[in-house]
Structure 1
């Protein structure tokens, strides 16, 4: 099975991920997604005045945590592939592996 995330889904996942780490509500987290051809994916977050930088693996972990906590997926069975295009913006394709 494949699950597709658009840019808002990715932002929501990161908001929840940071909120859990900081013990705050997700609506208190601001996210700015970034893609650099030579450096890959990153996200800058701001939560109650604290800035955090997430890198590609952190974003993948955020998607996995979101799918586990809100949709009961098993994180070890997820393969997350991030992508960026001018047309679609930031997206993720999540393969759900059957084991």
Structure 2
């Protein structure tokens, strides 16, 4: 099975991920997604005056945490690929592996 996340789904996942780490509400987190040719996808976050910079693996972890905590997927059974295009923006393609 494949699950597709659009840019808003990615932002929501990152908000929840940062909120869990910082022990704040997801609504208190701001996210700015960026694409750098040399770094790939990154995210800058701001929550209660604290900033954080997430790289691709952090964003992948955020998606896995979101799917595990909110939709009962098994994080170890997810293969998450991030991409960016001018046409589609930021996207995550998630393959759910059957083990």
In structure 2, the residue matched to 1:93 is 93
Q: Tell me how far apart the structure 1 counterparts of residues 89 and 72 of structure 2 sit (CA, whole Å).
A: 27
* TM-score, normalised via structure 2 length: 0.99
Q: 3-state DSSP class of the match of 2:70?
A: helix
Query: 2:83 corresponds to which residue?
Result: 83
Aligned-CA RMSD value:
0.4
1-side partners of 2:39 and 2:58: how far apart?
Answer: 14
Aligned residues: 99
Q: 4+ residue stretches of structure 1 with deviation over 3 A?
A: none
- Runs of at least 5 residues in structure 2 that lack an aligned partner in the other structure: none
Whole-angstrom distance in 2 between the partners of 1:92 and 1:7: 8
Distance 2:78 2:39 in 1: 23
TM-score (norm 1): 0.99
Residue 37 of structure 2: aligned partner? 37
- CA deviation profile, 1:3-28 (whole Å, cap 9, x unmatched): 00000000000000000000000000
Q: 5+ unaligned residues in a row in structure 1: which ranges?
A: none
Aligned to 2:59: 59
